Amino acid sequence: MRIKLCLRLSAVLLLLAPAWSIGGPVVKAEQLAGKSVGQQCQLLTSRGGWVEARPLCEQAAAQGDFGAMLSLEWIKQTHRPLYPEALALAKGGNADAASYLGAALLLGQMAETVAPSDQALHWLQLAADNGNAEGHYWLGVAYSYGKFPGAEADLVVAAGHLQQAAEGGHGAAALLLAELHLYRQFGQPADALPWLRQGQPTPEGSNWGWIYEHGIGVPVDLLKAEAIYRQSSDALGAFRALQLMRLRPHSSEELQQAAQRLETKALTDEPAPWLTAKPTVNGDSCRLLAGLFASGQSKPTRSADVAAEVTRWYSYAAFYDQKGRAAP
């Protein structure tokens, strides 16, 4: 019973933990400069630098930093001697253990000495074959993202697994399935609605903003779309909110606030791109900001030198267009 509970807790933490990058890229010193101990802890944890992160997280957690507490708990769970136990249970046919094991292998969070990483799909398939919604979900993630070893992009296969998981009550699977319909030209956009209602019942967040902006299964309502976008927390929402705000009169203060919000999002890549099918808007966001600063519709927050800021944001846009990754 204790092992099963630990597996379930770790599986939850695997989903809720700060997102990591495949292969654990090194965090540059300049990226840590000027950040608090708690911020350094969370950044290192999100990039897989657990050894370096742990003492910082312990220090910040002792000072009451809740984010550091969560990161520290994630590090502790990840380094518990649980993988060998999960492997033994999975070999015995335990679907929960197999899905947990497969997800950890898929995301590169397990030492090769425990199990080879190329077995991720094997264990996830074993879990899925036994009706495990988590196994279906991670297979759907793998085939929709298309950049994991052994899992080339196949939206038909991905959608099949996501639907199986969603029908089993998996909210994140329903949400990703909805996004495949909305943004990846899979099926019809209107097919997203029942899955979106399951994964995100309240009409909030950029997916719902997209629904009302484009009239997908509902009448077009740009005012409602704008309001939803302005309350959303991601880069797509910040970008679309500012674009829609420019279509009708707003106070300079409102536009300035929206531009500042986009500034904070424009240079931030999606932390776990395999968990979403939303379009990447970094380059377009940078161009939009450069145009606003050049026209005087908004003021940059980093520097009073408008010409330099315009040049900088256009260079960021070009960087994203060419490289498709975070600007330095």
Comparing CA positions, the residue from 191, 196, 219, 198 lying closest to residue 206 is 196
CATH placement of domain 2-175: 1.25.40
d(CA 259, CA 252): 10
* Rounded Cα–Cα distance for residues 270 and 292 (Å): 24
Structure tokens at 39: 């911020």
Q: What is the pLDDT along the chain (328 residues), one digit of tens a residue?
A: 444 434 443 444 444 343 333 333 345 676 788 889 998 888 887 776 776 788 899 899 888 888 888 888 887 766 554 677 788 888 999 999 899 889 888 887 665 555 666 788 999 999 999 999 999 999 999 999 988 888 899 999 999 999 999 999 999 999 999 999 999 999 999 999 999 999 999 999 999 999 999 999 999 999 999 999 999 989 999 999 999 999 999 999 999 999 999 998 888 766 678 889 998 899 999 999 999 999 999 999 888 899 999 999 999 999 888 865 444 3
Backbone angles phi, psi at 151, to 5 degrees: -130, 85
The neighbour count for residue 110, using CB atoms within 10 Å, is 22
